Amino acid sequence: MKHNYCVIMAGGIGSRFWPMSRNAYPKQFLDILGTGRSLLQQTFDRFSTICPKENIFVVTNESYVEVVKQQLPELSVGRLLAEPHRKNTAPCVAYAAYRIASEDADARLVVAPSDHLISNEEEFKRVVLKGLDFCSTQDSLITLGIQPSRPDTGYGYIQFVDDNKKNGVFKVKTFTEKPDLSMAEFFLKSGEFLWNSGIFLWSVQSIQQAFSKYLPEMDNLFKEASSHFGKADEYDAIKTAYEQCTNISIDFGIMEKADNVHVIAADFGWSDLGTYGSLYEHIRHDANDNAVVGKNVMMYDSTNCMVNVPKDKLVVLQGLEGYIVVESEGVLLVCRKQDEQQIRQFVNDVKLNKGERFV
The pLDDT of residue 166 = 60
Q: Cα dist. 105→3, 95, 109, 228 in Å?
A: 9, 15, 11, 17
Give pLDDT tens digits for 313-355: 999 999 999 999 999 999 999 999 999 989 999 999 999 999 9
Question: For 46-51, what is the mean pLDDT?
Answer: 95
pLDDT for residue 164 is more than 70: no
What mean pLDDT value characterizes the chain? 93
pTM: 0.92
The pLDDT of residue 281 = 87
The pLDDT of residue 343 = 94
> Cα(269)–Cα(262) distance, rounded to whole angstroms?
21
- Domains (range + CATH), the chain: 4-271 (3.90.550.10), 285-358 (no CATH)
Question: For 250-267, what is the mean pLDDT?
Answer: 94
Give pLDDT tens digits for 268-294: 999 888 889 889 988 899 999 999 998
The pLDDT of residue 150 = 85
Question: For 54-60, what is the mean pLDDT?
Answer: 97
The pLDDT of residue 155 = 83
| Contact by Cβ (8 Å): 75, 44 | yes
pLDDT for residue 14 is more than 80: yes
What ranges make up the beta strands (E) of the chain? 4-9, 56-61, 80-83, 108-113, 117-118, 141-146, 157-161, 169-176, 193-203, 261-266, 270-271, 291-293, 297-300, 306-308, 315-318, 323-328, 331-336
